[in-house]
Structure 1
């Protein structure tokens, strides 16, 4: 019989940053339900000073939650927007 006394892993700083970014984005969408922007615009106007990979992960998480959708614009940039009921 083994005695496993290891504790569950604690969230890393990057996990905490991702959670915080998601919460900021959720709050923005609550206040602005018709918001839509590219990742550059989101970083500039919605949530600044966030590593691009963290922003991308946050946007993908909100897509998985059904709070965002995206589509590719003719310019090749991706537009992120809240789905309308």
Structure 2
């Protein structure tokens, strides 16, 4: 079953949680994925018909980072996000 965009009537928190769920689902299917906020929005989320702004993706990633699901790393000037590697 394909994910859907958060409803336009959803509250900000509901939208962020829906985006976070879509990102987490992508990482379950593609555990080696890593991308920028823009890449996540354009490739990961559009592939499952989730529309989100860069700001919403950033908020969702912050939520997932706080839960220990994702981590970021710097590659030159870019900040990449990926599934958290357990050390």
TM superposition score normalised by structure 2: 0.75
RMSD: 1.3
Runs of 4+ in 1 over 4 A off after TM superposition: none
Give the Cα–Cα distance (whole angstroms) in 2 for the partners of residues 26 and 81 of structure 1: 10
Larger radius of gyration, structure 1 or 2? 1
TM superposition score normalised by structure 1: 0.77
Query: What runs of 5+ residues in structure 2 fail to find an aligned partner?
Result: 1-9
Counterpart pick for 1:51 among 46, 50, 53: 53
Counterpart pick for 1:39 among 19, 37, 40: 37
Query: What runs of 5+ residues in structure 1 fail to find an aligned partner?
Result: 1-11
**Aligned residue number for residue 83 of structure 1:** 84
Equivalence map 1:1-85=2 (5 Å): 13-48=11-46, 49-74=51-76, 76-85=77-86
Residue correspondences, number = 73
Q: Please give the secondary structure, in 2, of the residue aligned with 1:47.
A: helix
